[in-house]
């Protein structure tokens, strides 16, 4: 999944497809397996909330919000260069 996410990012940028309105000045850092092991909250923004009830300081210290949004916007599980004409769910196969 890391390889496909990184490949999809490379395919989108030359095509002018910056996703989710992220600033173009944010440089892409290749996604690693370690970054894939982030835990999930109900809303993405909750990872960086500062309120005591849901504050998770370890997460915000490990990954900046914009970097997480970048990874989330390009998350991909299949290579777009070889789409399957017969299988409509080809993109979901890992």
pLDDT at 24 (0 to 100): 57
pLDDT of 84: 63
29-79 pLDDT, tens digit per residue, is: 888 888 777 656 677 777 777 777 777 777 777 777 788 888 878 877 777
Residue (of 76, 78, 73, 81) closest to 90 by Cα position: 78
Cα 86 to chain center, whole Å? 28
pLDDT of residue 76: 75
Res 18: pLDDT: 60
């Amino acid at each position: 999944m890391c390889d496909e996410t990184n490949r999809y990012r490379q395919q989108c940028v030359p095509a002018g497809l910056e996703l989710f309105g992220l600033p173009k000045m944010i440089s892409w850092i290749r996604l690693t397996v370690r970054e894939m092991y982030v835990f999930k909250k109900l809303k993405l923004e909750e990872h960086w909330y500062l309120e005591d009830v849901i504050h998770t300081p370890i997460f915000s210290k490990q990954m900046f919000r914009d970097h997480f949004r970048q990874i989330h916007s390009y998350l991909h599980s299949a290579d777009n260069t070889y789409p399957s004409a017969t299988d409509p769910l080809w993109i979901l196969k890992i």
